[in-house]
Amino acid sequence: MQLKKYQIPDYMYSIYNSRRRQSDNLDYKRQILETHLNFQNYIEKLQMLLYLEEIWMKDNIKKYNISDAVFHKEMELFTLEMSGFSENRPSVRQGDILSVYPVGNKEMRYWGSVHSVQHNSVKIKFFKSMDQFVEGMKFNVEFTVKNLIMRLQHRALELAYEDRLMSVLFPNPKHCGQQHNELPKLRLFNTQVEDNPRQYQAIQHIMAGSSRPAPYLIYGPPGTGALNLTILHSLFQNRILFHLFHLLCVYFNLSSAGKTVTMAEAIKQIANNCTSTSIKILACASTNSACDVLCENIVGGNEDKSKVYRMYAKYCDSRLVPEVLKAYSNLDRQTFVFPEKKELMKYKIIVTTPYTAGRLVTEDFPVGHFTHVFFDEAGHGLETECLIALAGLLCPMKGQVVLAGDPNQLGPIVRSHLAKKNGMEVSLLERLMKLYTKKKMLKKSFYTKLQFNYRSHPSILQIPNQLFYRGALFAKGDEAKCYSCCQWKHLPKKGFPLIFHSVSGVEEKEASSNSIFNTAEKDMIISYVKKLLQTLDNISPQDIGIITPYRKQVQKIQEGLEIVGKEYRDKPWSAVKVGTVEEFQEDERKVILVSTVHSSNNQLKKDKHFNLGVIRSKKKFNVVLTRAMALLIVVGDLEVLKSDCYWGKFIEYCEENGAILSTSNDTSNQ
């Protein structure tokens, strides 16, 4: 099916710029935008939100145009040093288009796309050889937004209406779950799932189509899957060894029954045990890494290569394809190829991102070709991103949709304040969770909530469990791991592995960056890392993670660790992971240290406006507190943090348990 241009209408610029012209049409459009998303306004409202976001992106990316830029060539890629990236709003993104020309010679223009974005640089791949390039040569650089992503979402909205997907997107309990199919008795590929009745019943209901046409929801709170791939990756620095080890874990059922494992088991059951010859499954996730994890769980146990196909987009980095998935993928040597439509249609299971799934619609896959669509980490993506994998591919009355994720953790990144204000940040998973609650659809035939937390010490889990999960989570982690720091000599209270250390520092900013940092907190964090590695034999640098909301604070902490590493050469200090909240969303460590950075209330209004920082952001707060297995140390300004209702609860909890230190009363050095 053709992908149209979807040009931004003129009236959207007026709405974006808040121009209050006298116009009945504009007033009508504003009313739609400001009304709660519903069956009647669904298409038009989401289209307007997409336009607002695109206007913001096009307007903002011009700030990154550069004069007299110097590139560094690395094989087929070129690196461009850049500073001043906005916090949590990556204005320059993978896939964005840019043109460059030598200073003083506009006629010699080269076009390329952003291959990847680092903290202070971007890697670029040009569409044709830069045959005139010489190291040190100066160029002018102009960025433009690649709007293919937006166009795919606009088309999905149009197709959702044409394909009558509203019964899936706004399910009515009176018209759902009417099949009354008997729940099948299963012989599971992953025997550990059998030990957890919730997962087992979820797979039964998915196979029986009990919720149809409503999506079946798998609610996976933090730590409900014990085998964390990021931890394994830190232990196996060689990527091939890491994925081989993971495949062995899958093959011998060494992974616990988290949401991804549950989805993979359901997919394998449907593909292998459903009698219908028309069974076709599309399995998606928002990122390629999440798709890889899902696919690895599917192919564990040597799934037939003629059944499973891992489809990558052409711009993906071939070096990042897991060794165990190469035989199942469209990787041909170092490039990605796309088979003809008739070849793709033969596969029972296709695993890809929603944007690459949009290519199947463009290739005119028939509506209803896929009988089942699974979407992992559905809370991370925009509703319209999820829609790409459904519209034009799924028959609403015969197909089954399964969504998995946690609406209480980080959701989609939305840059336009106006789009955010009018609901664009709410994912399809989060909206359906609220809808199911309102319509009393939170029952086994529609929904499963995973309850066993295999990650954290019970004391670390307590506050998030109380605030976000109604006390429904049960700490089931390995005691040898979760209790391993309970007697650390620097704990204010033995047996309670939490510390809140109050530091009254100063927010600082450099002229070349909008990002802020706090030197006093940085010094305290590094001090704790030194204590951990000097006094705990069971803690290595790979076991430690440091979370901070600002990129400049990340950089300052990394620089501080590098200096300390030169002094103490007996340990690989560079293995300590330092990152933003977003970079820890799917991660965990034995020990987590947090630097909140803020030392005054001056920045908080801006933070709330742009969704920065960890104050007044309950989802970021939840992520920060649920990454630690055995020890959690938070460094911040007590008075500033107490002004936030969530941090206030955490500080109160630490006070009740005698776990608060300040620079003046810190006895840990004694």
Q: What are phi and psi of 381, to 5 degrees?
A: -100, 155
Residue 20's pLDDT is 56
Strand partners, 633: 499, 593
Question: Per-residue pLDDT tens for 99-124?
Answer: 999 998 888 899 998 888 776 788 89
How far is the C-alpha of 171 from the C-alpha of 216, rounded, in Å?
Answer: 11
How far is the C-alpha of 383 from the C-alpha of 661, rounded, in Å?
Answer: 43
Question: Per-residue pLDDT tens for 379-391?
Answer: 999 999 999 999 9
**Has residue 202 got a pLDDT over 70?**
yes
Secondary element (H or E) of residue 525: helix 519-535
Q: What is the CA radius of gyration of the chain?
A: 25
How far is the C-alpha of 413 from the C-alpha of 509, rounded, in Å?
Answer: 24
| SS3 state at 312 | coil
Name which of 74-88, 342-356, 456-470, 635-649 the model is least confident about.
74-88
Indicate the DSSP class of residue 365: P
Indicate the DSSP class of residue 573: G
Q: Which residue has the higher pLDDT, 250 or 425?
A: 425
Residue 605's pLDDT is 59
**Has residue 568 got a pLDDT over 50?**
yes
**Among all chains, which residue has been given the structure tokens 């619609």?**
361
| SS3 state at 513 | coil
Residue 438's pLDDT is 93
Residue 607's pLDDT is 57
pTM: 0.87
- If pLDDT is split at 50, 70 and 90, which confidence band does 461 have? very high
**Among all chains, which residue has been given the structure tokens 């009355």?**
397
- If pLDDT is split at 50, 70 and 90, which confidence band does 500 have? very high
Q: Which residue has the higher pLDDT, 123 or 497?
A: 497
Indicate the DSSP class of residue 543: G
**Has residue 304 got a pLDDT over 90?**
no
How far is the C-alpha of 656 from the C-alpha of 492, rounded, in Å?
Answer: 12
**Has residue 611 got a pLDDT over 80?**
no
Residue 251's pLDDT is 45
Instruction: Put residue 20 in one of left, alpha, beta given phi > 0 → left and psi -120 to 50 → alpha.
Output: beta
Bond before 549 cis per omega within 30 degrees: no
Residue 301's pLDDT is 62
Residue 236's pLDDT is 43
Name which of 141-145, 389-393, 518-522 the model is least confident about.
141-145
How far is the C-alpha of 627 from the C-alpha of 243, rounded, in Å?
Answer: 22
Secondary element (H or E) of residue 114: strand 110-117
Q: Which residue has the higher pLDDT, 316 or 308?
A: 308
**Has residue 88 got a pLDDT over 70?**
no
- If pLDDT is split at 50, 70 and 90, which confidence band does 141 have? very high
**Has residue 230 got a pLDDT over 50?**
no
**Has residue 260 got a pLDDT over 80?**
yes
The most distant pair of C-alpha atoms in the chain lies apart, rounded to whole Å, by: 74
Question: Which two three-digit tokens encode residue 17?
Answer: 């710029």
What's the mean per-residue pLDDT of the chain? Answer: 88
Question: Per-residue pLDDT tens for 342-388?
Answer: 999 999 999 999 999 999 999 999 999 999 999 999 999 999 999 99
- Determine the Cα angle at 134 with ends 130 and 137, to 5°: 100
**Has residue 160 got a pLDDT over 90?**
yes
Name which of 63-67, 597-601, 666-670 the model is least confident about.
666-670
Question: Per-residue pLDDT tens for 238-256?
Answer: 444 444 544 544 444 444 4
Kindly state the percentage of the chain with pLDDT values over 70.
Answer: 89
How far is the C-alpha of 401 from the C-alpha of 375, rounded, in Å?
Answer: 8
Mean pLDDT of 13-18: 89
**Has residue 479 got a pLDDT over 80?**
yes
- Amino acid found at 506: V
Q: Which residue has the higher pLDDT, 663 or 480?
A: 480
- 606: Cα separation from own chain's centroid: 23
How far is the C-alpha of 288 from the C-alpha of 169, rounded, in Å?
Answer: 25
Q: How far is CA 4 from CA 215, 362, 364, 390, 523, in A?
A: 29, 11, 14, 18, 54
Residue 97's pLDDT is 86
Question: Per-residue pLDDT tens for 179-193?
Answer: 666 889 999 988 878
Sheet with 281-285, strands from edge to edge, namely 308-310, 349-352, 281-285, 372-376, 400-405, 216-219, 447-449
Nearest CA among 3, 116, 4 for reference residue 359: 3
Secondary element (H or E) of residue 578: strand 577-579
Nearest CA among 216, 286, 298 for reference residue 255: 298
Residue 239's pLDDT is 45
Q: Which residue has the higher pLDDT, 340 or 663?
A: 340
**Has residue 630 got a pLDDT over 90?**
yes
**Among all chains, which residue has been given the structure tokens 């299963």?**
186
* Strand 281-285 with 372-376, pairing: parallel
How far is the C-alpha of 489 from the C-alpha of 534, rounded, in Å?
Answer: 11
**Has residue 277 got a pLDDT over 90?**
no
Name which of 2-6, 477-481, 493-497, 609-613 the model is least confident about.
609-613
